[in-house]
Amino acid sequence: MIRAEHHVSIVTSTAPRARSTSEPPATSLDLPVTRIPGIGRESAKLLERMRIHTIGDLLWHLPTRFDDFSKFVPLRRLVPNASQTALAVLGHISQRRTATGKLMTEAELHEEDGTPTQVRATWFGRAFVKETHPEGERVRISGKVRFFGRSLHFSQPTLERAEAEAVHTGRLVPIYPLTEGIKPGQMRRWLHTAIEGGPRRTGVVGEVPDPLPSPVRERHALPDIASALRQVHFPDDDERLLSARRRLAFDELLVLQLALAQRRARWTAQASAMPLRVPDAELATWIAALPFTLTGAQQRSLAQIRDDLARRVPMSRLLEGDVGSGKTVVAALAARIAARSGAQTALMAPTELLAEQHARSLAALFKAGGPSHALLTSSVIGEPRRTILAGLADGSLDVVVGTHALVEEHVGFKRLGLAVVDEQHRFGVRQRATFREKGSGNDPHLLLTTATPIPQTLSQTVYRDLDISVIDELPLGRKEITTHLRTPDQLPKVWEGVRLAAERGQQAFVVTPRIDPADDGEDESGGSAPRPPSAVETEKELRQGELRGLRLALMHGRMPAKERDAIMRRFFDREIDVLVATTVVEVGIDIPNATVMVVLGAERFGLAQLHQLRGRVGRGTEKAYCVLVSEASDSERLAAMVARKPSGIEGNTVPLDGFDLAKRDLEIRGAGEFLGERQHGVPELRIVDLADVDPRLISETADEADRILAGDATLERPEHGALAHAVDQLWRRYALA
């Protein structure tokens, strides 16, 4: 029996219990931020928006970059168009209105000995400069220097009294993420106080307990935690900054490695699966009976899965392969191996429609004999449902196909030996843990499939508890989908093409980045940028305008799953010509009669995602098209969608595949985009950007985790208390994620 309400407790029981010895002593780190001089109630409220509550939280609010104001230049040596710092004496300060009515403050700057120079400093709007800095004051001034007429000016520079400690000028100056209402200078001042403690030097940074035992620090030449935090906020120089960042990244990766290694070790030791086996000759006859020849990559993956299934340690394998690479048949053969060994298989898809598709695939693959199988979705009710449930309970039914509700509802198996989870992007670390706990007595082997490529850095970290098989080859004879890049003013032609396709009896998808016009959510580009198209508007406009007379339908993520399924079904049954949708159509479904995919606002999507969308068409015998519509300004990135590479056959080229595109996206847009906002079960890492972390650091922390666990598998030793605590914290974050 599997019940949803058990999930959270299962996860926490997977993790080691929080031990009282691993709780760090209370320090001022736990005090509210208002204890920092300068942070009042109002500011604390604003900080809360950034999830900064305690002084400890504040210390972990790290700068995203630095302005290098560390080099001092005499006024007469300043050069234009560069950020520089100078020591100067303020000369005459004047204020006037510009032609456009803006207040402009201008200060003459003198050499330190008082000699006047031609150099000035100018500010727009900042009246307080004149109020806070009197003429004759010695100042440190940092900022961009430009030509203003014929003399050089500091433009909008930052000033500090020369005698004051360098916080905002004359150093590597940290730039922090902010929220509305907090000024850059404020945030920097607060952190400086937390780190350095103001004039009395009572910085709380010294109270941060160091989670790393000193032998570990020495082995990897890492600074202690207090100096690392100090240098990561207010670095003395680049070198120390790098070393500090390396230290913090090391900690974070080490904890992740410890957590995953511990869990894997527990599984290997405690979990026990049914070994599922098939003799070579028998497997060969199954493969020979398939309606096609397996590709080399499919055979390789199948062999790896077969090896895993034969063991008592439950398989944890991710089967990764581009859209259409043929993952289903590999999973189906695994299910057949299970059935032959007397075990049952649950095959789970993200939607009911997809589950139905899988059920049809199984029927086709096992036409000439194979395991018994049935589809169990919410629409299977009454007597048929009872029969299936009985078959699962008494073991007479080998394979059940359904949605993830299968694990959540009261579906009892006699001998569940294999669970296949298809295309589940949200199947993160937490769900994997949950799943494995569900077998009673025996733990099922677990096979996950995905068309999303996993970068190596991820497979060595968050996916470290999974083995990975890759299908990096498409079946022969796939037709290419012709892809066009178009600008919005070319849309009339695009709709004409859609109409023609519909008149030939074919179908089209139109995908938009937003649901409805009110959804401005993440649009921070300001009022001037064109608003991205919405599904609701687009569908209405097309229905009344350019696609009038065709059968249109709308589908998006805010509709209930049932309604979405119903629409997909009507589309599948050809009752709809054009489906206007958001990316809910992204995953797995086969509509052989759909030949056109139009993506509006294409610049809003990741390349790998566009590739997935494109993969929705071209499943049938007709020639298929994909049209990516975007303002010309973003065509450079989208050009990858029509780029080609050598195919391996002399003089022949092929389009970039999902892996190439994901890699390119990673280079251009960074991991955040690639990972689709934590959709892939990646925990929130504070320091490390898994997309560009140095792979050597990953290996180093993996080795160190192994070394630590080899001597203290359960992290019981006092010197590992802080690490054990950090591992608990990490699991807690998963449990709440």
Shortest distance, CB of residue 614 to Mg ion, whole angstroms?
Answer: 15
DSSP 3-state of 580: strand
Question: Residue 544 or 647: which CB sits closer to ligand ADP?
Answer: 647
Question: Residue 455 or 588: which CB sits closer to Mg ion?
Answer: 588
Helix, strand, coil percentages (3-state) for the chain, rounded to 5, are 40, 20, 40
**Chosen residue from 588, 601, 615, 683 binding Mg ion by CB under 5 A:** 588
Query: Which two structure tokens, joined as six digits, stand for 471?
Result: 């299908």
Shortest distance, CB of residue 183 to ligand ADP, whole angstroms?
Answer: 51
Question: Residue 141 or 331: which CB sits closer to ligand ADP?
Answer: 331
Question: Residue 29 or 481: which CB sits closer to ligand ADP?
Answer: 481
Question: Residue 319 or 690: which CB sits closer to Mg ion?
Answer: 319
Q: Is 106 exposed, middle or buried (0-12, 13-18, 19+ CB in 10 A)?
A: middle
Shortest distance, CB of residue 321 to ligand ADP, whole angstroms?
Answer: 5
3-state secondary structure 586-635: CCCCCCCCEEEEEECCHHHCCHHHHHHHHCCCCCCCCCCEEEEECCHHHH
Q: Is 279 exposed, middle or buried (0-12, 13-18, 19+ CB in 10 A)?
A: exposed
Query: Which two structure tokens, joined as six digits, stand for 609?
Result: 């995602």
Q: Is 645 exposed, middle or buried (0-12, 13-18, 19+ CB in 10 A)?
A: exposed
509 - beta bridge partners?
A: 579, 597
Stretch that binds ligand ADP, among 46-54, 71-79, 293-301, 508-516 (CB under 6 A): 293-301
Span 273-292, contacts to ligand ADP by CB under 6 A? 292
Contact predicate 432/683, CB 8 Å: no
Stretch that binds Mg ion, among 53-61, 109-117, 560-568, 587-595 (CB under 5 A): 587-595
3-state secondary structure 318-379: EEEECCCCCHHHHHHHHHHHHHHCCCEEEEEECCHHHHHHHHHHHHHHCCCCCCCEEEECCC
> Quick check: 595 binds ligand ADP (CB under 6 A)?
no
Closest by CA to 158, choosing from 145, 149, 147, 176, is 145
Contact characters 462-501, ligand ADP, x per CB under 6 A: -------------x--------------------------
Residue with tokens 């391996």: 648
> Quick check: 324 binds ligand ADP (CB under 6 A)?
yes
Query: Which two structure tokens, joined as six digits, stand for 169?
Result: 């000028």
**Chosen residue from 56, 63, 326, 444 binding ligand ADP by CB under 6 A:** 326
> Quick check: 158 binds ligand ADP (CB under 6 A)?
no
Question: Residue 298 or 512: which CB sits closer to ligand ADP?
Answer: 298
**Chosen residue from 107, 253, 329, 494 binding ligand ADP by CB under 6 A:** 329
Shortest distance, CB of residue 332 to ligand ADP, whole angstroms?
Answer: 9
> Quick check: 325 binds ligand ADP (CB under 6 A)?
yes
Span 432-451, contacts to ligand ADP by CB under 6 A? 451
Q: Residues touching ligand ADP: how many (CB under 6 A)?
A: 15
Closest by CA to 450, choosing from 321, 588, 347, 608, is 321
Please give the Cα distance from 436 to 443 (Å, whole number). Answer: 6
Stretch that binds Mg ion, among 22-30, 140-148, 580-588, 663-671 (CB under 5 A): 580-588
294 binds, among ligand ADP, Mg ion, none (CB under 5 to 8 A by kind): ligand ADP
> Quick check: 128 binds ligand ADP (CB under 6 A)?
no
Closest by CA to 194, choosing from 74, 343, 38, 42, is 38
> Quick check: 295 binds ligand ADP (CB under 6 A)?
yes
Question: Residue 67 or 320: which CB sits closer to Mg ion?
Answer: 320
The residue ranges that bind ligand ADP (CB under 6 A) are 292-295, 298, 321, 323-329, 451, 475
The residue ranges that bind Mg ion (CB under 5 A) are 588
